[in-house]
């Protein structure tokens, strides 16, 4: 097993994600936003969610969320009825 495959195995990641052209940072950001969406669906406060997914502040989280999802966290929650 090569080093890259071993790293993916240890991190429980799928190597094909990176081989398909996605960067590790892109993958990590998408994963963090996905986790955040799950937490937001439960009605948790934006500040708590930002901290839970390791953003330094709610504004940084909101910018990343908006860039990936196309809506602010507040608008996304309203759209799904939270």
pLDDT tens string 4-63: 666 667 666 655 555 556 677 787 888 899 999 999 999 999 999 999 999 999 999 999
Range of the domain at 74: 23-80
Residue with tokens 């963090």: 32
Q: What total number of domains does the chain contain?
A: 1
Q: What is the pLDDT of residue 53?
A: 94
Q: How far apart are CA 76 and CA 38, in angstroms?
A: 12
- 38 assigned to some structural domain: yes
pTM: 0.73
Q: What is the pLDDT of residue 22?
A: 67
- 15 assigned to some structural domain: no
Q: b/e string for 42-53 if b means 16 or more Cβ within 10 A?
A: eeeebeebbeeb
- 62 or 1, greater pLDDT: 62
Instruction: Give the domain CATH number at 49.
Output: 1.10.10.60
Q: What is the pLDDT of residue 69?
A: 95
């Amino acid at each position: 097993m090569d080093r890259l495959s071993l790293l993916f195995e240890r991190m429980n990641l799928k190597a094909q994600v990176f081989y398909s052209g996605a960067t590790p940072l892109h993958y990590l950001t998408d994963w963090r936003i996905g986790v955040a969406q799950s937490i937001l669906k439960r009605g948790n406060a934006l500040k708590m969610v930002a901290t839970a997914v390791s953003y330094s502040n709610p504004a940084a989280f909101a910018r990343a969320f908006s860039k990936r999802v196309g809506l602010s966290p507040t608008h996304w929650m309203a759209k799904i009825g939270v």
